Amino acid sequence: MTQLQRAAERSAAEFAAARAHGDPSLEAFARAVLGLVAEPGDGVLGRVIGTIGAVDTAESLLAGGSAAELVERVVEAGGDLDEGEATTGLDRWLPRLDHGAFVRSLSQAVRVGAVLLTPGDAAWPLGVDELGVHAPLGLWVRGRADALSSATPTIALVGARAATGYGEHVAMEASAGLVDRGFAVVSGGAYGIDGMAHRAALASDGTTVAFLAGGVDRFYPLGHESLLARIVQTGAVVSELPCGAAPTKWRFLQRNRLIAAASRATVVLEAGIRSGSLNTAGHAAALGRPLGAVPGPVTSPASAGCHRLLREFDAVCVVDADQMAELAGGGRGETIGRRPPVAAAEGGGRSSAAGHSNGMAADDPSGVRTLDALSTRTPRDVTDVARRAGLSVPEAMSALGRFEAEGIVERRPSGWLRRRAG
């Protein structure tokens, strides 16, 4: 019996409960253990696990093996790890290997009804695997474990804690509109924009998911305790940190990568020039996910971060739920790409007015000029109309014919008349 099996047996009851929705396998147990010893996004650990698997990695740590032994196992399995990396890694992980703390964390998870999802579970959000060696080892979930499954299109709505009334209004409209279009709304549970996005989704009977930077056993921020409790009823509160873990700056930054990775698209609704939501936006961009930003008054510092995203990150300007849904490829299974830029017309020539004016006339220079040349009071003959329009008589006649068919002009015995609008 390996040390990992012995450790698993010592935590058996709690661990099985924490895997309520999946198989309490040794693989899952190993990931739970490793989640305790490493900070989120530990790339060295991610590489080791990627090569020799979570079970062997956890065995290595529990056996208190040397750096040389770890390197040997990884290299034997075809991976890449040098002794310096292994030494530094073990030096990071081993001091945290504490069975007592682990059991306390598991008990706490069971107490609050948190379950552990691991890769391969049906409800695992596939998007986070794109983080590669920085992917989460597992996700602790309170609420509906399948809230992030690929069956539901997800969109991240994030923004500043210091939101304005404008930002909160836009967040509310956007979130409600996206719920109507079948999206689950992902955010960070913070004050300001995040809170408004969650609240509006709940109010629309939609699914919303909050990613936390600490364990899901303690809701942060404190003022959102009841909001997060409501999210648990119909959606999910999620973290890669084990129960008992406190939120830190680093964990907030890493939490942001999960919000971006678990969502089809990320939209920043309002953000100061140094808002943490720009970090989430950076992750979305790095992952190649669609990134949207809602503009606001240039006189409002609370929109400066959004404008920076439009300028520097090539974020797409989105002004309503429709455009956000389009950004995320459409709700309810639709796939709608970003519209290509409308081809601008050749300078001054034929169709430069197209798309910028009302009615058919604008699509055609002869039409514009013929209408220019007509009066609503004085009938004019076709030669007069042509001269005034700077057109040949056949060009003017052709335009007049079309406008007559459309009911825009009128033929009188004494000449042509433009009909009054309305």
Does 415 sit near a copy of itself (CB under 8 A)?
no
Instruction: Give the nearer residue to a copy of itself in terms of CB position, either 178 or 281.
Output: 281
Does 295 sit near a copy of itself (CB under 8 A)?
yes
Does 123 sit near a copy of itself (CB under 8 A)?
no
Does 352 sit near a copy of itself (CB under 8 A)?
yes
Select the residue interacting with a copy of itself from 345, 382, 397, 417 (CB under 8 A).
345
Instruction: Give the nearer residue to a copy of itself in terms of CB position, either 230 or 419.
Output: 419
Minimum CB separation from a copy of itself for residue 309, in Å? 9
**3-class SS letters over 281-343:** HHHHHHCCCCEEECCCCCCCHHHHHHHHHHHHCCCEECCCHHHHHHHCCCCCCCCCCCCCCCC
Minimum CB separation from a copy of itself for residue 318, in Å? 8
Does 307 sit near a copy of itself (CB under 8 A)?
yes
Looking at residues 71 to 110 of the shown chain, list those that interact with a copy of itself (rule: CB under 8 A): 87-89, 91-93, 95-96
Does 175 sit near a copy of itself (CB under 8 A)?
no
Q: Is 346 helix (H, G, I), strand (E, B) or coil?
A: coil
Instruction: Give the nearer residue to a copy of itself in terms of CB position, either 171 or 216.
Output: 171
Does 42 sit near a copy of itself (CB under 8 A)?
yes
Binding marks (x or -) toward a copy of itself, 260..289, rule CB under 8 A?
xx------------xxx-xx-xxx-xxx--
Looking at residues 216 to 255 of the shown chain, list those that interact with a copy of itself (rule: CB under 8 A): 248-251, 253-254
CA distances, 186 to each of 143, 194, 207, 267, 337 (Å): 14, 9, 9, 10, 21
Does 341 sit near a copy of itself (CB under 8 A)?
yes
- Binding residues for a copy of itself, how many (CB under 8 A)? 97
φ/ψ (deg, to 5) at 186 = -100, 135
Q: Cis link prior to 221 (omega < 30° from 0)?
A: yes
Does 337 sit near a copy of itself (CB under 8 A)?
no
Contacting residues for 106 by C-beta, under 8 A, at least 6 apart? 11, 14, 15, 18, 32, 243
Does 324 sit near a copy of itself (CB under 8 A)?
no
Select the residue interacting with a copy of itself from 390, 406, 411, 414 (CB under 8 A).
390
For residues 213-235, b (16+ Cβ closer than 10 Å) or e, as one string?
bbbbbbbbbeebeebbebbbeeb
Minimum CB separation from a copy of itself for residue 9, in Å? 26
φ/ψ (deg, to 5) at 78 = 90, 10
φ/ψ (deg, to 5) at 327 = -55, -40
Torsion of CA 39, 45, 47, 48, to 10 degrees: -160
Q: Would you give the DSSP letter of residue 122?
A: T
Beta bridge partners of 187: 210
